[in-house]
Structure 1
Amino acid sequence: MFSHWIRRLSTRLWAINVAAYAVSLILLSSAAIYLIDHFPDALGRRQQMESVRHIVDGLRFDGTGQLLSVQLRERQALIFRLAPNDVKYRVLDATGRELLASTSADPKGKGDWPWLTQDLAEAAGTIAPATIGGKVFTVATQRVSSGTRIAYVQVAESKQFVEALVTAKIEPIPATAGWALLIATIIFGLTLPLTIRHVLRPLKEASDAAAKIDPYNLKTRLSSKGIPSEIKPLIDAFNGALTRLEKGFAVQQQFLAAAAHELQTPLTLLRGQIELQPEIKQRAHLLRDIDLMARQVRQLLHLAEVSEAQNFSFDDVNSLDVAQEVVAFLDGKADAKQVKLHIEAGETQPRIRADKSALFILLKNFVENAINVSPESGVVLLTIDEASIRIEDEGPGIRQDHLPFLFDRFWRAPDSKYDGAGLGLSICREIASAHQWRLAVDVLPTGTRFSVWL
Structure 2
Amino acid sequence: MKIIAHGRVQPFTALITIASNLVATAIFLALALVSIVATPMIVKRALAGVIKTAEEAKRIDTGSRGIRLSEDKVPREIGPLVRGVNEALDRLDESYNRQHRFIASAAHELRTPIAILRMKIDAATDMGLRSLLPDVSRLATLSEQLLDLHRLDNGAPSDRIDLVAIARLVAADLAPVLIASGKAIEVIVEKPRMIMGNSGSIERALINLIQNAVEHGGDEVIVRVNGPSVAVEDNGLGIPGDHHERVLEPFHRLRPRSSGAGLGLNLVKQVVDHHGGRITIAEAPRGGAIVRLEFTAVS
With normalisation by structure 1, the TM-score equals: 0.56
Aligned counterpart, 2:289: 448
Q: 2:189 aligned with 1:344, yes or no?
A: yes
> Whole-Å Cα distance in 1 between the matches of residues 75 and 99 of structure 2?
36
Aligned length: 290
Q: 2:105 aligned with 1:258, yes or no?
A: yes
Aligned counterpart, 1:407: 248
Aligned counterpart, 1:163: 13
Alignment equivalent of 1:431, drawn from 271, 281, 292: 271
Name the aligned partner's letter for residue 186 of structure 2: L
Distance 1:188 1:334, change over 3 A: farther
Alignment equivalent of 1:243, drawn from 54, 67, 90: 90
Do the aligned partners of 1:340 and 1:380 also contact (CA within 8 Å) in 2?
Answer: yes
Gaps of 5+ in 1: 1-37, 40-135, 137-157
Q: Deviations over 1:242-278 (max 9, x none)?
A: 1111111111111111211222222222233334442
**Percent of pairs with identical residues:** 27
Q: Secondary structure at the match of 1:412?
A: coil
> Whole-Å Cα distance in 2 between the matches of residues 391 and 272 of structure 1?
31
Gaps of 5+ in 2: none
Residue 177 of structure 1 and its aligned partner are, at CA, apart by: 5.1
Name the aligned partner's letter for residue 172 of structure 2: A
Q: Secondary structure at the match of 2:196?
A: strand
Alignment equivalent of 1:359, drawn from 155, 180, 202: 202
> Whole-Å Cα distance in 2 between the matches of residues 391 and 187 of structure 1?
66
Q: Secondary structure at the match of 2:106?
A: helix
Name the aligned partner's letter for residue 173 of structure 2: F
Q: 2:71 aligned with 1:224, yes or no?
A: yes
> Whole-Å Cα distance in 1 between the matches of residues 261 and 213 of structure 2?
16
Alignment equivalent of 1:385, drawn from 209, 214, 227: 227
Residue 385 of structure 1 and its aligned partner are, at CA, apart by: 1.0
Aligned counterpart, 2:150: 304
Q: Secondary structure at the match of 2:248?
A: coil
Q: Where do 1:169-318 residues align within 5 Å?
A: 169-170=19-20, 172=22, 176=25, 181=29, 185=32, 188-189=35-36, 192-278=39-125, 280=126, 282-306=128-152, 308-310=153-155, 314-318=158-162
With normalisation by structure 2, the TM-score equals: 0.82
Do the aligned partners of 2:213 and 2:221 also contact (CA within 8 Å) in 1?
Answer: no
> Whole-Å Cα distance in 2 between the matches of residues 186 and 339 of structure 1?
79
Residue 285 of structure 1 and its aligned partner are, at CA, apart by: 1.3
Residue 168 of structure 1 and its aligned partner are, at CA, apart by: 3.0
Distance 1:381 1:276, change over 3 A: closer
Do the aligned partners of 1:334 and 1:341 also contact (CA within 8 Å) in 2?
Answer: no
Distance 1:159 1:234, change over 3 A: same
Name the aligned partner's letter for residue 224 of structure 2: L
Q: Secondary structure at the match of 1:221?
A: coil
Name the aligned partner's letter for residue 14 of structure 2: A
Q: Where do 1:94-133 residues align within 5 Å?
A: none
Do the aligned partners of 1:217 and 1:309 also contact (CA within 8 Å) in 2?
Answer: no
Residue 169 of structure 1 and its aligned partner are, at CA, apart by: 2.5
Do the aligned partners of 2:282 and 2:289 also contact (CA within 8 Å) in 1?
Answer: yes
Distance 1:403 1:253, change over 3 A: same
> Whole-Å Cα distance in 1 between the matches of residues 279 and 41 of structure 2?
40
Q: 2:163 aligned with 1:319, yes or no?
A: yes
**Cα root mean square deviation, aligned:** 3.2
Name the aligned partner's letter for residue 84 of structure 2: A
> Whole-Å Cα distance in 2 between the matches of residues 440 and 192 of structure 1?
50
Distance 1:305 1:171, change over 3 A: closer
Distance 1:299 1:207, change over 3 A: same
Do the aligned partners of 1:320 and 1:384 also contact (CA within 8 Å) in 2?
Answer: no
> Whole-Å Cα distance in 2 between the matches of residues 187 and 321 of structure 1?
69
Name the aligned partner's letter for residue 442 of structure 1: A
Do the aligned partners of 2:213 and 2:236 also contact (CA within 8 Å) in 1?
Answer: yes
Residue 194 of structure 1 and its aligned partner are, at CA, apart by: 4.4
Higher normalized strand content (fraction of residues): 1
Q: 2:170 aligned with 1:331, yes or no?
A: no
Q: Secondary structure at the match of 1:429?
A: helix
Distance 1:272 1:339, change over 3 A: closer
Residue 171 of structure 1 and its aligned partner are, at CA, apart by: 5.7
Do the aligned partners of 1:340 and 1:379 also contact (CA within 8 Å) in 2?
Answer: yes
Do the aligned partners of 2:188 and 2:225 also contact (CA within 8 Å) in 1?
Answer: yes
Distance 1:273 1:343, change over 3 A: same
